[in-house]
Structure 1
Amino acid sequence: MKIRPAKISDAQGICDLVNHYAEQDLMLHRSLESIYDCLREFIVAVEPGLAADENEKLLGCVAVDIFWGNCAEIRSLAVAQEAKGLGVGKALISACLADARRLGVPKLFAMTYEQEFFHKLGFVEVDIETLPEKVCRECLAWYNQGHRHETAMIIDVEGAK
């Protein structure tokens, strides 16, 4: 498995993977246009092709969206069904933490239904009111569309493994 920044050629695969989970009401739907708009925020996990001319297989993706100077949000974390349980999600979060350290972002947070996964990685549950106002508005809009509440989880980047 290789972890790397997303490329233009990954956009459709990212869109398909994210929307697979969005159709199950597990994350927000993303248009292909929105993926292209924030492609620089995405990190992907791929399985390299066996030959130099073979395409890589997308195993997972994640985006990191910086909010002001004090925190960033982990968004669109998705792992392909066939790659679940192989450490892809953990590797992607590790890459997010490394990127946050490089940028000097002190905290990373996620809105999630997968509390156990994030807890194992050192995230702790927090009250949504402690997060940036934009996040609270987005979560309220999500809930008002008939979706259940997600749990807010956060990690101190410097203290993370």
Structure 2
Amino acid sequence: MIRKARLKDARDIHRLIVHFSKTGQVLPRPLAEIYENIREFFVFAPEGKDLIAGACALHICWEDLAEIRSLVVSEEYQGEGVGVNLVKACLEEARDLGVPKVFVLTNAPDFFRKLHFKDIEKTELPHKVWADCVKCPKFPECDEEALILELGQEEF
């Protein structure tokens, strides 16, 4: 089940992000930051399980731009459409909020291309997007790719 995150989910979200940040798949995020931004997150809560097994956040950057970030899915649920459904939940919320464009910085560009995101140069993104980059262990040698989706042009 995909749903909006609740405060009680913050530690599970953090556990997943810590796990996947060790492999460089997502940026590390302190637990306090997850609590502060809990409203941005959607989670995957498997039926009959106590732990959250997936999470994804929609971060609003400006009136016309949002970012999908911290997409994580437990290994046992990968390949089952959980990541796709988490991203779709974020895109639906962006649509509801009236955000016309959503971008992602990722090491898994093919995943997002399947969802109709298009490659762009990182330099095309506004400077305010880079506020989190200085916290990244890879800064300034970023190996992530930038992709963007103009809402209303996709069909999923």
Match of 1:156 among 140, 150, 154: 150
Give secondary structure in 2 for the equivalent of 1:57. Answer: coil
Q: Can you give the 5+ residue segments of structure 1 that lack an aligned partner in the other structure?
A: 50-54
Question: Once structures 1 and 2 are overlaid, which stretch shifts more, 144-153 or 125-134?
Answer: 144-153
8 Å CA contact 2:60, 2:67 repeated in 1: yes
Give secondary structure in 2 for the equivalent of 1:121. Answer: coil
8 Å CA contact 2:134, 2:140 repeated in 1: no
2:45 is matched with 46
How far the C-alpha of 1:135 sits from its partner, in A, is 2.2
Give secondary structure in 2 for the equivalent of 1:66. Answer: strand
Question: In the alignment, residue 100 of structure 1 is paired with which amino acid?
Answer: A
Q: Can you give the 5+ residue segments of structure 2 that lack an aligned partner in the other structure?
A: none
Question: In the alignment, residue 129 of structure 1 is paired with which amino acid?
Answer: T
2:27 is matched with 28
How far the C-alpha of 1:104 sits from its partner, in A, is 0.3
Kindly tell me: are residues 8 and 131 of structure 1, through their superposed partners in 2, closer, same or farther at Cα, counting changes over 3 Å?
A: same
Quick check: which has more Rg, 1 or 2?
1
8 Å CA contact 1:67, 1:132 repeated in 2: no
Match of 1:68 among 62, 65, 76: 62
How far the C-alpha of 1:143 sits from its partner, in A, is 6.8
Question: Once structures 1 and 2 are overlaid, which stretch shifts more, 100-109 or 139-148?
Answer: 139-148
How far the C-alpha of 1:113 sits from its partner, in A, is 0.3
Give secondary structure in 1 for the equivalent of 2:95. Answer: helix
How far the C-alpha of 1:129 sits from its partner, in A, is 1.0
Q: How many equivalent pairs are there? A: 155
Question: In the alignment, residue 77 of structure 1 is paired with which amino acid?
Answer: L
Asked whether 1:79 is paired with 2:78, we answer: no
Paired with 2:11 and 2:3, the residues of 1 have a C-alpha distance of: 16
Describe how 1:103-114 pairs up with structure 2 within 5 A.
Answer: 103-114=97-108
8 Å CA contact 1:123, 1:154 repeated in 2: yes
- Identical columns (%): 39
Normalised to the residue count of structure 2, the TM-score between the two structures is 0.92
RMSD: 1.7
Give secondary structure in 1 for the equivalent of 2:52. Answer: strand
